[in-house]
Amino acid sequence: MLGKKAENIFVLMPNILLLVGLYVICWLREDGFIWIYWAVLLWAFAAMGHPSPLNDEVELDRKRIPHWNCYVYPWALCFTLIPFKLMT
């Protein structure tokens, strides 16, 4: 869906997750080590390089963009900084 831009996002995402983890730990004073775990895991995958799609010649047309929005927006609404908090 993103074409060549996907590689830039693939490299940038571990850094964003690390910053989110540090923000949750330092400023919110909560347990944000899950974000650091995901950042380290994504750094390992990013070191291998982003795989190229099998058929990158076909662009998203006007019929497929609404389908893409139906997947991206609900995913973004499910985002939370502190997904699990144990009650003590």
Q: Number of folded domains in the chain? A: 1
Radius of gyration, CA atoms only, the chain = 16
- The DSSP secondary structure of 43-74, one letter per residue, reads HHHHHT-PPPPS--SSPP-TTTHHHHHHHHHH
pLDDT digits (tens, 9 = 90+) for 26-46: 998 888 888 999 999 999 988
Q: Which domain holds residue 9?
A: 5-50+61-77
pLDDT at position 72: 84
**What pLDDT score does 67 carry?**
84
Query: Has residue 20 been placed in a domain?
Result: yes
72 in any annotated domain: yes
Helix axis angle for 5-26 and 33-47, nearest 10°, is: 160
Q: Using one digit for the tens of pLDDT, what is the confidence trace for 41-84?
A: 999 988 887 677 677 677 777 887 888 788 888 888 887 777 66
Residue 87 lies in a domain: no
Q: How many angstroms separate the CA atoms of 86 and 23, rounded? A: 19
Q: What is the pTM of this model?
A: 0.67
